[in-house]
Structure 1
Amino acid sequence: MGPLAGLRILDLTTVVMGPYATSVLGDLGADVIKVEAPGGDPIRRVGPSRSGAMGPMFLHANRSKRGIVLDLKTAAGRDALLRLAATADALVHNLRPRAMERLGLGYAALAEANPRIVYANACGYGQDGPYADRPAYDDLVQGACGIPALMARSGDDGPRYAPVNIADRAVGLHLAIALLAALRHRDRTGQGQSVEVPMFETMASLVLGDHLGGLSHLPPSDEGGYARLLAPMRRPYATADGHLCVLIYDDRHWRAFLPLARGAALEGDERFATQRGRTAHSTAFHQAVGEVLATRRTAEWTDLLGAADIPFAPMHDLNTILDDPHLTAVGFFETSQHPSEGAVRSMRLPTRWSGSPPSPALPAPGLGEHTEEVLSEIGLGGREGTA
């Protein structure tokens, strides 16, 4: 059942951000109904697929949902959605608000059908600003909030995007949190409302939380940026046979590391004696530590650092992480049979619950798989409104 059992959420989102948010809610027990246009969510066709309509990102971001097809450009499709909305707790979409208004599905129309509904808009930019009507994608938002510039400042490769849809997924979590908070307010007061979750502003707050630095002061006390995160040598260290992620963060870690350095001239180096000094001389510090770590094999350092309680972690790639002993022990990867894709590896929920443990309820749906089932629940026969 899961802790969110009893909530019904209409999911009109596509691609990554919105579907990721609603998959989290579905995994937690909500009845999420994914509403797709007749052509389907475009992310269905991204990446390898056995069926041709179930790429890996779609597969993972749309589990625990029922899937229906409605053509919202038709009167029948719009009416079917409004009838569904009358039975729902929330509707989530990532269309630009003016597009929803043109469809006759703005907040006022939904609130007329259901005054208690929470209407969540996952938009690119806040609707009061000059960027309101611009399209937004992960790369664009990363650039606008400074991630490529920070990448360039921390290395010699020039500006580049983080190789993860970090904006989509971070903002997706904010979307899920905001929706649940609005539902909590609704439960207390009986009042539904419209909630706007803009990608740009959300990611700007995330990035600047680390890097606003002295620009927080008026007048500024420095040029901003968290020096430790921007250190050019902040990267996994090479060992004698591979790489290892090591973080000598505080003075206790440094004192524990010195006996492992085997004669390296680090003990008396005053530059590294304090955390402030190690940050101020970060390039020289990382070089010195790197020279020490290169003298032993990864397995040997794993034993030594573990015994000294110095933070470290393996540097996995996309294949080795599948065999990580910790993830294996906690049962992180699960194998299931998908109706169209066959055997599928997926990730279980990362959280653990003592009283109401949730779990994925359904595999990602085929296009329109549950249309008849869902429409019949609101008294519509066949596939009314699907085309």
Structure 2
Amino acid sequence: MAGPLSGVRVVDLTSVVSGPFATMFLADQGADVIKVEPPVGDMTRRTRPPIDDDGQFSPMFISTNRGKRSISLDLKRPEGVEALRKLIARSDVLVQNFRPQVMERLGLGEAAVRALNPRLIYVSISGVGDSGPYAGKRVYDPIIQGLSGFADVQAQAGTRRPQMIRAIVADKTTSVMTAQAITAALYARERTGVGQHVKVAMLDAMIAFLWPEAMTNYVVVGREAPAGDHNARPDLVFATIDGYITAGTISDSEWAGFCKATDRPDLLDDERFNSQGKRAANATERITLMGEILATRTTENWLKRLDDCDVPCAPVLRRAEVLTNEQVVARELIAEYVHSGVGRVRQARPAAQFSATPGRAPSAAPWIGQHSREILAELGYGAEEIDGLANTTVIREVKG
């Protein structure tokens, strides 16, 4: 059994990142994920500079679509929609992130598909949900960072100018929540025998993601307080003589360890820092002072001193340094394999490891329509029928 989701078939109608990344997690865990692409392919094949001669693969596409099979269908043609209907009828999960009403126009809205396959888990990913004044908006990650308050969390100290984080955090957070929701729905179906409609909006996901610590000032109704002071404090990146480190001093024992490691026992009795509450209230002064102290020695020296005193700490790595970091290497967190269209590629190892049902080894992201013929044959199409669909460009075939 290759992975805990072995035997589960997923129809992946998604594009960009929020959907493909979610279904890739399912593929890592053994599901047969069939990526349904238009003849031109998923747009992320082209949104970054391609790294193959045919222009089919970008690093982002490879890193959000590994382990899937691809069928290329022209859904503007009735024959293409009919092939998709047959595929859906034999699947466990359908995931789509089209704008509202697109699936209905294809005749594949939730009610229509439910009649076709009552056990199906029908998953709709959207930007801001299917109701409310923003429901029809075209949405990408920065829009959600702005709407959810995430950009405010990253605001510049002093000016309070909101800032975007330089990663598509809203897309990827939504992916993780979607993958978890799909497995929960599959579990519920095992108990009830009934499928259901799962809806995940990026805005919903990010507000839920931010709530535990970023919205603490708004948890108690009637006791709201501006969050500016908390967010204006410096971050925990400290310059050393030759690099950068981070260190945490939340508990009393960690603060005591920091004072010992830095030869500053006087700070234990400092009225500004001698309790956890005071250290939080005077965070700007505390973090600024820590930065001044840590600037006096090398990264290696400080990390040893802090580790010896049981203070949470780590080097702040540049992205290239992550590849060779001793912990990353020891845990084999980055795998390499050969992709027929690109050459040797790296991928992060799936984070969840299963003792009884280990996932399969990483496999390449597919070419556009690489498995069209194979999948249609599984649906009962004969060779002549498949040839006819290929000749009339209802399907696209590309051999990897």
Normalising by structure 1, report the TM-score.
0.95
* Structure 1 residue aligned with 2:190: 187
- Give the Cα separation in 1 of the matches to 2:371 and 2:287: 56
In the TM superposition, what is the alpha-carbon distance from 1:221 to its structure 2 partner?
4.3
* Structure 2 residue aligned with 1:308: 309
* Structure 2 residue aligned with 1:83: 86
Which amino acid is 2:65 matched to? N
* Structure 2 residue aligned with 1:258: 259
Structure 1, residues 157-201: CA drift from partner, whole Å, max 9, x if none? 722211111101111111111111111122211111211111111
- Give the Cα separation in 2 of the matches to 1:64 and 1:75: 29
User: Do the aligned partners of 1:264 and 1:292 also contact (CA within 8 Å) in 2?
Assistant: no
- Give the Cα separation in 2 of the matches to 1:134 and 1:224: 28
- Give the Cα separation in 1 of the matches to 2:98 and 2:228: 34
Deviates further, 133-142 or 41-50: 41-50
Structure 1, residues 261-292: CA drift from partner, whole Å, max 9, x if none? 23585243111111111111111101111111
Which amino acid is 2:134 matched to? Y
SS at match of 2:395: coil
Alignment of 1:249 onto 2:258: no
In the TM superposition, what is the alpha-carbon distance from 1:386 to its structure 2 partner?
1.8
Which amino acid is 2:147 matched to? A
Which amino acid is 1:65 matched to? K
- Give the Cα separation in 1 of the matches to 2:326 and 2:229: 33
- Of 379, 386, 398, which residue of structure 2 is paired with 1:382? 386
Structure 1, residues 13-47: CA drift from partner, whole Å, max 9, x if none? 00111000000000000000000011110101133
- Give the Cα separation in 1 of the matches to 2:3 and 2:172: 22
- Of 49, 52, 59, which residue of structure 2 is paired with 1:50? 52
Alignment of 1:112 onto 2:121: no
- Give the Cα separation in 1 of the matches to 2:64 and 2:57: 11
**Equivalent residues in 2 for 1:26-41 (5 A)?**
26-41=27-42
Structure 2, unaligned runs of 5 or more: none
In the TM superposition, what is the alpha-carbon distance from 1:226 to its structure 2 partner?
8.9
- Of 154, 166, 169, which residue of structure 2 is paired with 1:151? 154
- Of 97, 106, 118, which residue of structure 1 is paired with 2:100? 97
- Of 201, 204, 209, which residue of structure 2 is paired with 1:201? 204
In the TM superposition, what is the alpha-carbon distance from 1:359 to its structure 2 partner?
2.7
* Structure 2 residue aligned with 1:269: 270
Structure 1, unaligned runs of 5 or more: none
User: Do the aligned partners of 1:32 and 1:66 also contact (CA within 8 Å) in 2?
Assistant: yes
- Give the Cα separation in 1 of the matches to 2:375 and 2:362: 16
User: Do the aligned partners of 2:12 and 2:94 also contact (CA within 8 Å) in 1?
Assistant: yes
- Give the Cα separation in 2 of the matches to 1:225 and 1:266: 27
User: Do the aligned partners of 1:20 and 1:169 also contact (CA within 8 Å) in 2?
Assistant: yes
Distance 1:362-1:386 versus aligned 2 partners, 3 A rule? same
Distance 1:158-1:223 versus aligned 2 partners, 3 A rule? closer
- Give the Cα separation in 2 of the matches to 1:189 and 1:322: 45
Deviates further, 46-55 or 160-169: 46-55
SS at match of 2:323: helix
- Give the Cα separation in 2 of the matches to 1:332 and 1:31: 23
User: Do the aligned partners of 2:248 and 2:313 also contact (CA within 8 Å) in 1?
Assistant: yes
- Give the Cα separation in 2 of the matches to 1:361 and 1:323: 20
User: Do the aligned partners of 1:2 and 1:359 also contact (CA within 8 Å) in 2?
Assistant: yes
Distance 1:160-1:263 versus aligned 2 partners, 3 A rule? closer
RMSD over aligned Cα, in angstroms? Answer: 1.7
In the TM superposition, what is the alpha-carbon distance from 1:353 to its structure 2 partner?
2.2
In the TM superposition, what is the alpha-carbon distance from 1:225 to its structure 2 partner?
7.0
User: Do the aligned partners of 2:20 and 2:64 also contact (CA within 8 Å) in 1?
Assistant: yes
In the TM superposition, what is the alpha-carbon distance from 1:154 to its structure 2 partner?
4.4
User: Do the aligned partners of 2:18 and 2:174 also contact (CA within 8 Å) in 1?
Assistant: yes
User: Do the aligned partners of 2:160 and 2:228 also contact (CA within 8 Å) in 1?
Assistant: no
Alignment of 1:163 onto 2:166: yes
Alignment of 1:337 onto 2:338: yes
SS at match of 1:50: coil
- Give the Cα separation in 2 of the matches to 1:116 and 1:312: 49
Percent of pairs identical after alignment?
38
* Structure 1 residue aligned with 2:126: 123
Which amino acid is 1:85 matched to? I
Deviates further, 303-312 or 204-213: 204-213
Distance 1:181-1:225 versus aligned 2 partners, 3 A rule? farther
SS at match of 1:91: strand
**Equivalent residues in 2 for 1:220-369 (5 A)?**
220-224=223-227, 227=230, 230-263=231-264, 265-360=266-361, 362-369=363-370
Alignment of 1:132 onto 2:135: yes
How many residue pairs are counted as aligned between the two chains? 385
